[in-house]
């Protein structure tokens, strides 16, 4: 929570949470205790057709997840051209890279000051923000529907017994 506190020191910055979780009530109470409840927005679950609208409203997408199996949310944000700051998890590092180069700022979320500083940097450094937004679009090809279908087809073919292949 300390990192969020550092970011909300800026009086014109807002924080939006999408989705649901067990910590929602605690986060609402925490925002009230800091006197920033009017700048912290809980939008709840989003329908698939609302995700793009939500993403386009953001200046930066923050993904502090402690554990992930894939990391679809930051991929979608990066594909939409939104700069991403994410926890430096191996899986997130892998999915947010093209040719081994990251398409996001990856920072250990356990270091809340460093994580908050990375977010602040993206919000204040126009060149970095533009570079991350541009690089993130590279993920469109990597995770396009055609690419994913081709990969699934290749996987299925690789596990089929050779006698059934024609």
Span 76-105, pLDDT tens digits: 899 989 999 999 999 999 999 888 888 899
- 3-state secondary structure at position 70: coil
Q: For residue 83, how many other CB atoms are within 10 A of its CB? A: 28
Residue 121 Cα distances to 85, 127, 132, 136, 166, angstroms: 10, 10, 12, 17, 55
Q: What is the CATH number of domain 46-139?
A: 3.40.50.2000
pLDDT digits (tens, 9 = 90+) for 112-131: 999 999 999 999 999 999 99
Interval 53-75 mean pLDDT: 90
- pTM given for the model: 0.80
Q: Where are the domains of the chain?
A: 46-139
* CB 152 within 8 Å of CB 102: no
């Amino acid at each position: 929570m300390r990192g969020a506190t550092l970011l909300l020191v800026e009086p014109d910055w807002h924080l939006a949470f999408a989705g649901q979780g067990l910590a929602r009530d605690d986060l609402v109470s925490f925002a009230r205790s800091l006197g920033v409840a009017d700048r912290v927005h809980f939008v709840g679950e989003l329908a698939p057709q609302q995700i793009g609208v939500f993403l386009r409203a953001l200046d930066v997408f923050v993904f502090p997840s402690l554990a992930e199996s894939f990391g679809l949310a930051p991929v979608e944000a990066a594909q939409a051209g939104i700069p991403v700051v994410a926890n430096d998890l191996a899986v997130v590092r892998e999915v947010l890279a093209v040719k081994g180069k990251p398409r996001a700022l990856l920072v250990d979320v356990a270091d809340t000051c460093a994580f908050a500083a990375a977010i602040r940097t993206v919000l204040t450094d126009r060149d970095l923000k533009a570079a991350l937004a541009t690089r993130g679009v590279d993920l469109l090809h990597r995770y396009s529907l055609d690419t994913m279908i081709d990969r699934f087809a290749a996987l299925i073919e690789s596990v089929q017994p050779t006698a059934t292949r024609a």
